Structures are given as C-alpha cells and as structure tokens.
Structure 1
C-alpha cells in the first residue's frame, strides 16, 4: 500500500529560470494555500484536501499517513457515514425476508438501536460505548423510541441479545462494505439466555388441562390443547389449519403452513411452516378422532379448524391471554408451561409409548434428528443392559451351534 502523503504549496511554484527559487503561481492568493495529497487505497486515485494554515496541513498529513500505515484509512465520504446509514443499507440489503423476520429487525432497530446510535459516526463507535449501552439496556436506562408503550424497565437477556444482534448485523455489513475496518461490537459480553423450561405433563395432567379448557373455554379450545399436547404441532401451525387439512379416514393432519406476522406485525397465514421439514402429515391418536370429527362437521373445507368464540380464525396471542392463562391456573399445571411447550409433552408421551427418534423428529417437524436428540435424548430408556444381554445370548447361540457342528 502506498502510504506517502505530501504537502503542496498552491500559491508558490519553482522558478523555471532558477530551480532554487520560487515564484508566485496563478493561484496565488486564491483559496487555501496548503494542499495535502495522497493516494486513496481503495480507488487508487490521487486525493487531496486544502488548508489555509500550514500547521493544520501538517497535522492532517500526519494523521492521514498514520491511518494509511495502520490500515484504518477511510475516504471523507465514508468517514461521514453514521450507524443510521449502515442500518438503512443493511435492511435494504435483505433479499425477500419473511415478514416476521423483517418486523423483528425493524422493531429492535427503531425501538433501541437508532435512538442511541443513529447519528453516531461509524468511525466513532467504540467497544466501551457498546459495553455501556448493553448495561443500560439491562437496567432500563438506555434511550428508546419516544412513543413505545412497553414497560420502562430493563430488557430480558433474550431481548438484549436480539437488540445487540441487530446493531452487530449493521456493523458487520459496514465492515463488508469497507466503511469501517473492524467491527467494534465483536467480543462484547451480553447476558446469557436461559432456555425455555422443559415441562412434561403426564397423561393424567394433560387430560386435566383439556378438561379445564373445556370447562372454562370452548370445545374448539379443548380440541386445540388436546392436539398440541398429543400431536406436538406448533401453535402457529395449529392456528393455520383448515377443515380440509384433517384427514379423519387416514388419521392424519396435514401441516403445510403456519400463522406468522407481516412486516407491520399483522397476523397472516404464511405459505410454509417454520422450516421445510415442517411440511408433514402427523398422526391423529384414535382417542382424538371423535372430537376432531365433531369440530369439522358441517364446516366448509376452507374454514379454520380452531376458532374463537365468534367463529373466527384464532389469534394465538389473544387466545393465550384470553383462554390459556385461565385454564392453566384452573388445572394447576407446572409453572412455565406454554402452548408451544406442549410439544415437549407430546414428544415425551410418544417416546414413552415406544417411538424412536425418527418418528418423533417427523412428528415435531424438526429439521434433523440431532435437534430431536439434543432436546429429548434423556427420555429414551437406557437400553445398554438390554443390548449387551442380547449380544451375550447371540454369542452363546453361535458358539453352541459351532460346537454341535464339530461333534457331528
């Protein structure tokens, strides 16, 4: 890299007749006298900046030379870019993201990232400033969007991680564009997120929850809880089901879509479930057939399977507030159980009934068996003794057969 930086005198030039002397140039007395010149490492073109005072030109020359040698040089245009510019460019770079993803990106950016960082120059973002901001997010003192309705306290570890992740993404993008040489957010310590409690209901506990739902909710609500707890589909997948998705004769429910949110956080039915593996046909346990038959009778094929008390498609967020909190209190289920958490119950009941890892993977719509094992490996019975005993029996049979052949 060419790190040479020099200063040219615009007002004076060499005397053609005597090189040891200088004479006034055509620019004498016009504009700034001292011109600092260097080669831009990105464009490979000569670049300059003029100053009226020699001392200012000397200081700028030294600073520019140091930045070129240290590999941290940026053009004047890039040096003027802010975090807000990087955020806008990063969001614009997303290629057809899901509405729910874009909503989460914008929410974190608009609520917390931009109120603190929007006007900050990218080159002025320091690691210690990000550290202080993370602490402020935790204790609730961080700047936030003025019209936010959320509580004014500190954010949970998961929320802090999400907000930090959006700032980090914008800075990673800025590094990729050459706007900054390194990401100041790298290595920043953020609070660890505790996983969702894994709550497993027994058959009796699940039936008590279904009964409480039938008593305090509706037949549709009870059938929804029964399907979530016995089949293990996701709440969004359940809310997207139509009557035609239920194949009673084949004893299958076809999962091909899910309820998600658009960029403006309005609920919509997406054209696919969470992952490609989520497209599947899940089995209907025989004891749920009667309830599902009752739920689908006299309905149009395209009608929603699970409905609100007004017969409309379920909004799972409203349903959780309106029904779930009430029935879980009435049933006395373990603390921390969520509608999505009923997937754990469905998995544990299936494993207890003898299902192998591939069956559970397909039932839950996991992308890989590894994902299933990481969550539920401890639920499969320890069959080491059973396997080694079978190996001993096979060995004995083989050796006895060999002995019998040798005697004959």
Structure 2
C-alpha cells in the first residue's frame, strides 16, 4: 500500500537546476511550475510564464486550504446538472417538492458550467433572464431558493469554495397590501349562493375555505371523521394533491374551532353528498378518490363567472385571516389558525391588516375623550339638579 504524502507546496524553476545550470527543459514550455500536495496526498501542478504568477496562485490555494474553502480541482469540474442528478436522489422530498426543484434546476442558464468556473455573475444572468421572460418576482424567488439549496449542498461536499448565489439581488415583490385581494362578506355570500345545481357540492368547500381558512389541498383532504359536529372542531390532518395524500404543508396539522353555522353547512353537505356510514369517507370525492386542485379549480372558475367575481380560492383564505385580525386576534392565534410555520410568515403576509400604532393611539385617545366628556356631563347634570333644589 502506497504511503500517503504529507501536504506541501513549492514553486520550481523548470529551466534551471539547483546549481543554476540549464536543465533539459530549458526554454521549453513555461518556466515556472507551482506544485502542492493536498490533504488527501494528491499531487497538483500548474505552469506559469512568471514566478510571481505561480506564487500568487499557490498562495491562493494555501489560503483556501487554511480557511476551509479548498476544492480539489478535479472535483470542481463537476457541473450543477451532474451534481443534482445524484444529490436529488438522496433527498427526503414529497413528489411536489421534487417536481418544483427539478423545474428550477432545469431553468438555470449555468447547468453545464463546472463548479470551478461558477461565479455570482452566472447566477445574476439567470435571475435577469427569468425576469425578462416575464416570471413574477415570487416565482423567481422560489426557483432561486431551490437552486441555492443545491449550491449549498455542493459547498458542504467541498465541490464549491463558496456559495455563488450569496448576495445576489432578486427583483422586489409588490407590497402585500398592494397585491392582496380580500372579498367582502357580501361577495363571499354571493359565492355561497351561487353554488346551485351541479355546483351545489362546492358550497361547503367555499365555507371551509372562507370561515376556517383551509388551503385548497387541505379542504380536499377532509374526511367526515375530521369533523367533530358536537364540539364544532375541524381536524386538519392531511392534504390531497394530485396523485398522493400527504401531511399538511410545513407540518401544519391543527385543530380549527368553527361556529355552529359552519357545522350546520357541513352536516347538510354530508347528508346530501356523502352517502354511507364509513366515518373515514371523503367529504369531496369522485370514483377515483378525493378531490384535487384539477377538479376544484375548473368548478370554482365556473362559479365565479356565474356570480361575476374574479377571486380565487386562496382569496377566501385571506378573507378568513382578515376577519380574525379585525376581531382582535393576536399574531400567534392567527398563525395557528392559518397553519403557518411561524409567526414571521403571518406577519410577512398580513402585517398591514393589523392596526398601526397611530391607529391604536388615536382610538385610545378617543375613548379617553369620550369617557372624560361623559363624566363632565354627569357632573354638570348633578350640579344643575343641586342648584334647582
């Protein structure tokens, strides 16, 4: 077994021997050769015309080794596309996540660039290309984050000296208050009333989205056993996506507390559209299984066209959140009801709906003023009565 060589480095003069006499390589090829042995005992060399260039390159390699940023040049020749094919097979992903990351990686403009040559400019060019092709800032951010996860994995595996996507600026998204549409109570009522004839099974679907804040997939994944009709509770335990049933997004299993009106709507739906006595039967299903987005969306499009509104099902979720906030619910309460991963997500999406400090100050001052004037009025009335006596 060959003995492993210790790390070392040097700059050699190929044209002269140690005593200064010409060597066999004199005047042939580049004069200076920088050589080093890495931590794995592998020998690496590169030739240069000038000694200063050889020394500079070798110093950079040594600095990378000291700081932990060293990458074996042979491993750095791997491309993003090649690395992803292997790395993605080891990830514990649901089918939807795999499809989204596949799409993001296929969209990059630097998939065949060796990691050794990958620069932030490559990532910036890709981001600009997506923007020029008309992709929304939110879509660009999602794809960017997916690809960056792959790059960070390559960095951890010592194939990249550093993450080239760090500090790359993304196009700014519109402020939540500018982009968010929230139906009015009357408009939600119009959607419910529009669920007649072949759209009648959609009425209860609108109800759980508007008055319990369920995501589309979570509503599709409801079973009769998830509804506690006596306590007025809905258990969100799964979501139905095309081709699979899986846990709710971000692990957001939760219990929702709903009013009697919602319970009544669900009970009527079960009576009309969920025959049988199996407690685990789906609330919405076809012969092939529970509803999925490709079944719900076309029906909802027909519903909104029927009533003359342009909202999506997700706007009903915004309606629920806005109602909780208007009723005075705090951030954590809204977070739990919405099934957000953390309160930061809730604030990022809905912070503009909470009363601002100046609004609270103004209302508090108004209440103080009303109380003071009421006390003055009572005092004045009492004084007038005393004078009359």
Decide whether the 8 Å contact of 1:296 with 1:305 is kept in 2. Answer: yes
| Residues 195/67 of structure 1: CA separation in 2 closer, same or farther (3 Å cut) | same
| Residues 220/39 of structure 1: CA separation in 2 closer, same or farther (3 Å cut) | same
Aligned partner of 1:267 among 234, 243, 256: 243
| Residues 348/165 of structure 1: CA separation in 2 closer, same or farther (3 Å cut) | closer
Verify: 1:132 aligned to 2:125, yes or no: yes
Report deviation, 1:89.
4.9
Q: Distance in 2 between matches of 1:194 and 1:133?
A: 21
Aligned partner of 2:115 among 113, 122, 128: 122
- With structure 2 as the length reference, what TM-score do the two structures score? 0.73
Aligned partner of 1:199 among 181, 188, 206: 181
Aligned partner of 1:190 among 161, 170, 175: 170
Verify: 1:97 aligned to 2:93, yes or no: yes
Decide whether the 8 Å contact of 2:238 with 2:245 is kept in 1. Answer: yes
- With structure 1 as the length reference, what TM-score do the two structures score? 0.70
Decide whether the 8 Å contact of 2:334 with 2:346 is kept in 1. Answer: yes
Aligned partner of 1:325 among 271, 293, 301: 301
Aligned partner of 2:151 among 158, 164, 171: 171
Verify: 1:6 aligned to 2:12, yes or no: yes
| Residues 279/4 of structure 1: CA separation in 2 closer, same or farther (3 Å cut) | same
Report deviation, 1:120.
1.6
Higher relative contact order (CA 8 A, sep 6+): 1
Deviations 1:14-59 (A, max 9, x none): 9xxxx898999xxx9xxx999956223x41636255xxxxxx9444
Q: Distance in 2 between matches of 1:338 and 1:117?
A: 36
1:7-406 to 2 correspondence within 5 Å?
Answer: 7=13, 36=33, 38-40=35-37, 42-43=38-39, 45=41, 47-49=43-45, 57-59=47-49, 65-70=55-60, 71=63, 74-92=71-89, 94=91, 96-110=92-106, 112-113=107-108, 116-140=109-133, 154-194=134-174, 197-214=179-196, 217-260=198-241, 266-270=242-246, 272-276=247-251, 278-297=252-271, 298-299=275-276, 300-307=278-285, 312-320=289-297, 322-333=298-309, 335=310, 337-353=311-327, 355-369=329-343, 371-374=345-348, 375=350, 378-379=353-354, 382-384=359-361
Decide whether the 8 Å contact of 1:227 with 1:233 is kept in 2. Answer: yes
Q: Distance in 2 between matches of 1:33 and 1:379?
A: 70
Decide whether the 8 Å contact of 1:358 with 1:369 is kept in 2. Answer: yes
Q: Distance in 1 between matches of 2:227 and 2:213?
A: 15
Instruction: Count residues in correspondence.
Output: 347
SS of the equivalent of 2:112 reads: coil
Mark the runs of 5 or more structure 1 residues left unpaired by the alignment. Answer: 50-55, 141-153, 261-265, 398-408
| Residues 231/75 of structure 1: CA separation in 2 closer, same or farther (3 Å cut) | closer
Q: Distance in 2 between matches of 1:371 and 1:155?
A: 23
Decide whether the 8 Å contact of 2:33 with 2:54 is kept in 1. Answer: no
Q: Distance in 2 between matches of 1:341 and 1:267?
A: 25
Report deviation, 1:125.
2.3
Decide whether the 8 Å contact of 1:37 with 1:46 is kept in 2. Answer: no
SS of the equivalent of 2:74 reads: helix
Decide whether the 8 Å contact of 1:36 with 1:48 is kept in 2. Answer: no
Q: Distance in 1 between matches of 2:347 and 2:131?
A: 33
Report deviation, 1:182.
3.1
Report deviation, 1:223.
0.8
Q: Distance in 2 between matches of 1:352 and 1:22?
A: 88
Decide whether the 8 Å contact of 2:131 with 2:140 is kept in 1. Answer: yes
Decide whether the 8 Å contact of 2:237 with 2:248 is kept in 1. Answer: yes
| Residues 331/61 of structure 1: CA separation in 2 closer, same or farther (3 Å cut) | farther
Q: Distance in 2 between matches of 1:256 and 1:362?
A: 14
Q: Distance in 1 between matches of 2:125 and 2:206?
A: 44
Greater helix content: 2
